[in-house]
A and B are shown apart, each in its own frame.
Chain A
Amino acid sequence: MNKSFGDYYLPTRFQYVILRQYFNKINAVFNMPQGEPVFTKTNIRLRSIINNLKPNSNLILLSIYMLPENKIIRNKIITKMIKKKIKLHLVFENTLINKAKDFKKINEILKLNKFSQ
């Protein structure tokens, strides 16, 4: 993602460094991902990736703040991930989400952080 996410901004080449390291850690093959278009908030790339993921796959995001800001889009994505039993890795938050109830906590975390801004 070539724009800020949450309170973070990290040039993509360094995002790749972190992702590559994380992929190594979990013994997965790293292929250079394509980024989200900066001019839209529809999260088309993330939605396309999730659509193509096979059931029980892993999805690795640098941060929870890479999930859609728009709650409707976010909830659609979360529902799809739950349905496909996707394991969601959030690198900055050091969290692995693989249960339906944990997916629901995503909205809570995002909301709580909005309260404290």
Chain B
Amino acid sequence: MKNSEVNFFIKNGFFKIKLQHNNFLYLKNKIKDTLKKQLNFKKINLEKFHKRIRIEELNDLRLKVFKKINDDNKFKQNTYESAKKFIHETVGNELCSSDINLSIQLPGDKSSLLEMHSDFFSGESLFQINLWIPFVNVKKTQSMFIINPADSLKILKKIKYDKNLNFDDINKKFKKQMRWINLKLGEAILFSPNCLHGNVVNCEKNTRWSINIRYKNIYSPCGKERNEKKIGSFYTLLNPKAVTQFNLKYDFDEITN
């Protein structure tokens, strides 16, 4: 990453990347093939998917596809490979990663919303990066929004201390600070999920398909809460290096403790 790109990330909390074409193609085809099998469709048009499914059927389907892609090691590997260089630049190269979340947002669907939040709301690490990959062109409300770190902190302080404020007030008051991410097919963003982000009802004409996955350096701190957001229950080891493997094999740590 150039210095200017690092500075852009620090100021805005995200940066756009171009994914490795072959890896991206694998991911997109895998999703489409899984859908064909699940639904017994001959062709899948992701953008116009809302014309072929009802909102009530959506979550079941989403969970089935979620399971398929997470059971497929190749899918996880291709996701990583598609943005490897940038992930290494941001959180290092000895990594653990979360499950791959799948989001499907049909136009007008109010049931698949992910309101403004930060991932450390649930006690996740401050030191992770989130790779967000859409499988259709996205713009405006069909996409996701992010609020820059400085503004996020202002809002988070209010959330922390204001006993009368609620999320509706925040959404209205800080609408202007929401930056919508416009991306073309094959592009993605890496963003700090410490920044407030989320989505609203998709008011565009097309369905949004996207995945997101968190990457964290194995040795960076987890959240302070005593919860399950740890390696083994939330993060899976991705590529432990030789010294880590060595120390996993031999219990030198028990001598020094």
Also in contact, A42 and B163, with CB within 8 A (given A51-B168, A52-B168):
yes
A9–B229 Cα distance when bound, in Å, is: 13
B77 CB to nearest A CB, Å? 24
Q: Check if A37 is an interface residue, CB within 8 A of chain B.
A: yes
Also in contact, A47 and B122, with CB within 8 A (given A34-B114, A38-B225, A39-B160):
no
Closest A residue to B160 using CB positions:
A40
B18 CB to nearest A CB, Å? 32
Report B's interface with A, CB cutoff 8 A: 59, 111, 114-115, 117-118, 120-123, 159-163, 165-168, 223, 225-229, 233
Interface size on A, residues (CB 8 A): 25
Contact partners of A3 in chain B: CB under 8 A: 123, 225-227
Contact partners of B227 in chain A: CB under 8 A: 2-3, 9, 11, 38
- Which A1-51 residues have a C-beta within 8 angstroms of B? 2-4, 9, 11-13, 31, 34-40, 42, 44-45, 47-48, 51
A-B contact pairs, 12 of them (CB 8 A): A2-B123, A3-B226, A3-B227, A11-B228, A34-B114, A36-B121, A37-B117, A44-B159, A45-B167, A48-B166, A48-B167, A52-B168
The DSSP consensus for interface residues of chain A is loop
> Contact between A42 and B223 (Cβ–Cβ < 8 Å)?
no
The 0/1 profile, CB within 8 Å of B marked 1, for residues 34-76 of chain A is 1111111010110110011000000000000000001011000
Contact partners of A35 in chain B: CB under 8 A: 121-122
A39–B119 Cα distance when bound, in Å, is: 12
New contact pairs (6) apart from A4-B226, A38-B225, CB-CB < 8 Å = A2-B229, A13-B228, A34-B121, A42-B159, A48-B167, A72-B163
Contact partners of B229 in chain A: CB under 8 A: 2
Contact partners of A48 in chain B: CB under 8 A: 166-168
Residue from A4, A38, A47, A70 whose CB has the most chain B CB atoms within 10 Å = A38
Contact partners of B168 in chain A: CB under 8 A: 48, 51-52
A45–B160 Cα distance when bound, in Å, is: 12
> Contact between B163 and A73 (Cβ–Cβ < 8 Å)?
yes
Also in contact, A38 and B120, with CB within 8 A (given A9-B226, A45-B167):
yes
A58–B233 Cα distance when bound, in Å, is: 32
Contact partners of A9 in chain B: CB under 8 A: 226-227
Closest A residue to B118 using CB positions:
A37
